[in-house]
Amino acid sequence: MKVILDTNALMVPEQFGVDIFSELERLGYVQWLVPSSVIGELRSLARNADRGRDRIAARVALELAGRCVVIGENIPDADLAIEKLAHATDAAVFTNDKPLKKRLFSSGITVIYLRQGRYLEATKKEY
């Protein structure tokens, strides 16, 4: 199964110490996709984040993105790119962004998120 990783999802390993790839495999997701706009966000954070921790997490996330397939046109709005790509590829989305999660749930897209700061959980809701 395929999963699209959001900017904050790729930062989870550095921020929370969770091996997201092992967790995604545990859930059955073995194809990892990253929209090119997420790569752009990570590059910007790696250069300009206010906190040093966020800059470090963004740099680590860029390295981790190398394990994924970068896909899609560079749409400036990463959330919109993620939503479009999820519909086009029938993929789940790994994000901790609450507004994005709500939009994805209302579209019937499976959302994977960090639970209790220790593991990933997948949920599909219809609002």
For the stretch 2-13, pLDDT in tens is 999 999 999 999
Residue with tokens 């593991």: 119
CATH number at residue 113: 3.40.50.1010
Of the listed ranges 51-55, 62-66, 82-86, the one predicted with least confidence: 51-55
CA 70 – CA 33 distance, rounded (Å): 6
Q: What's the structural domain count of the chain?
A: 1
DSSP 12: H
Query: Is the pTM for the entire model greater than 0.85?
Result: yes
Contact 126, 106 (CB under 8 A): yes
76 vs 86, more confident: 86
- Residue 7's domain comprises 2-123
